[in-house]
Amino acid sequence: MFGFGGPANGIPMGGSPRRFEEQYHCYSVAYADKPHLEGGDKIILPPSALDTLSRLLVEYPMLFNLSSESGNSTHSGVLEFSAPEGSCYIPYWVMQNLLIPEGGLLTVKNVSLPKASLIKLKPQHVDWLEISNPRAVLEHALRNFSCVTKGDTICIPYNDRNYHLELKDVQPQDAACIIETDCNVDFEAPVGYVEPDYKKMAEDKQREQYANMPKQSRFGGASPHLSASSPAQSRDGSVNGSVPPLDLGGAEVQKGPRIVNGQIIKGDDDKDKGPDEALLADRVGATGVQPNAAVPTKAPTNTYWAVAGGGSRLDGKAPSPLKDTEGNVQDPRELRLAAAAAREAANKSDSVQQASQVKRKSLIGNKYSKRKIGGATAFNGGGNTMK
């Protein structure tokens, strides 16, 4: 809701009101060298009209009904009484609503209009939506208006442009005064406005988001950048990001580290290879490159899983049947027995070897030094063996 300033209403004391009605030759305000009046609905009447109105008991503010010979009519206020006798000046957009040419006859008579309570406008172009605050622009522009009439198309200049708005509805009647009143303003969709397809916009936005993502190869990871002279083919054989069909019978395509049949296969590139196995230490603490305990050098076989935990799964689900590399189903109990027998045989061989070891003494100075030959040292080499 918003209000518009102007003179206060009032009726001269004494007597009874009379009607003012005259005919004038109509011209646009540009003839009076006052083009700024195009931003409102005020007209300019001759001095004789002021002399007649001053002797009548008219209601203020002075409002007039304007009608042309074509039968069209509208309403307006008056700005001043300085037009030549027999003529009047009105905004050009009002002349367009009345379908009256320059110099045409215009009938002017005073009227009394109620206060407006509702105005519904329909912009005549979608450019109206580009205004950041259309309500503020409309409120400021309507301060130059005295009244509104249903069916008229008013002109509002803003930022060196003229915006036309059709009055679709005026309450409480088809013509109402907007001076010193609070009224609700509503807008209809502009002419030519199409409601956006929000579902399609969301799909396009999601498609654009995925289109900007880096191309993914079949085995994970982004595809490498290629030179401009070669086709857009990735390292796994895809062209322009499309994944080619799997060739199950052909040569192996993947080049990076991978797991095949439970075994870790290092990549073919030098950067993917680990240290030379000849340089690896045979145990923790021994001389050589220490292996990474977090990554086992060799994956455990199916016998390990059969012995550990009885072959049951941690999540409580039924374990899958154990199969060897050839696909034959194996019995976990037989695997456990075989593993126990292997451990027992290994323990017997270790005890025999320890029993066969001979302790030797070496004379260093005037003392004997005992040196065990068992490998309890952090260094390997001939210096650890007594000859």
Whether 102 and 136 share a structural domain: no
Beta bridge partners of 368: 363
Whether 107 and 145 share a structural domain: no
Beta bridge partners of 233: 239
Largest CA distance in the chain: 152
Whether 76 and 46 share a structural domain: yes
Cα–Cα distances in Å, from 172 out to 149, 165, 278, 299? Answer: 11, 20, 100, 88
User: Mean pLDDT of successive 10-residue segments in the chain (387 residues)?
Assistant: 43 56 92 87 92 86 91 92 93 92 92 92 89 88 91 89 91 91 87 81 79 63 48 48 48 61 61 62 72 58 54 63 78 81 83 61 61 51 52
With respect to residue 52, please indicate whether it lies within any of the assigned structural domains: yes
With respect to residue 105, please indicate whether it lies within any of the assigned structural domains: yes
d(CA 137, CA 156): 9
> Nearest CA to 224 among 210, 207, 241?
241
Whether 105 and 30 share a structural domain: yes
With respect to residue 162, please indicate whether it lies within any of the assigned structural domains: yes
Q: For 10, list phi and psi in degrees, rounded to 5.
A: -175, 150
Supply the Cα-derived Rg of the chain in whole angstroms: 50
> Nearest CA to 233 among 245, 222, 224?
224
Whether 30 and 105 share a structural domain: yes
Question: What pLDDT, in 10s, does the model give residues 126-183?
Answer: 888 888 888 888 888 888 899 999 999 998 888 888 899 999 999 999 999 998 888 8
With respect to residue 177, please indicate whether it lies within any of the assigned structural domains: yes
Q: Please identify, among 111, 140, 162, the residue that sits at the C-terminal boundary of a domain.
A: 111
Residue 173's CATH number: 3.10.330.10
With respect to residue 226, please indicate whether it lies within any of the assigned structural domains: no
**Using CB atoms within 10 A of its CB, is residue 169 exposed (0-12), middle (13-18) or buried (19+)?**
middle
d(CA 88, CA 79): 11
Q: Please identify, among 187, 219, 239, the residue that sits at the C-terminal boundary of a domain.
A: 187
Q: Please identify, among 187, 215, 245, the residue that sits at the C-terminal boundary of a domain.
A: 187
Question: What pLDDT, in 10s, does the model give residues 292-344?
Answer: 655 555 655 555 555 455 556 655 666 677 777 787 888 877 878 888 888 88
Whether 129 and 101 share a structural domain: no
Whether 317 and 335 share a structural domain: yes
Q: For 2, list phi and psi in degrees, rounded to 5.
A: -155, 160
Residue 100's CATH number: 2.40.40.50
Listing DSSP states for 14-77 in one string gives SS-----EEEEEEEEGGGGT-GGGGGS--EE--HHHHHHHHTS-PPBSPEEEEEETTS-EEEEE
Element at 111 (helix H, strand E): strand 105-111
Whether 100 and 139 share a structural domain: no
Q: What is the pLDDT of residue 352?
A: 66
With respect to residue 230, please indicate whether it lies within any of the assigned structural domains: no
Range(s) of the domain holding residue 155: 118-187
Whether 97 and 76 share a structural domain: yes
Whether 69 and 137 share a structural domain: no
Q: What is the pLDDT of residue 64?
A: 94
With respect to residue 61, please indicate whether it lies within any of the assigned structural domains: yes
With respect to residue 174, please indicate whether it lies within any of the assigned structural domains: yes
Give the number of domains in the chain.
3
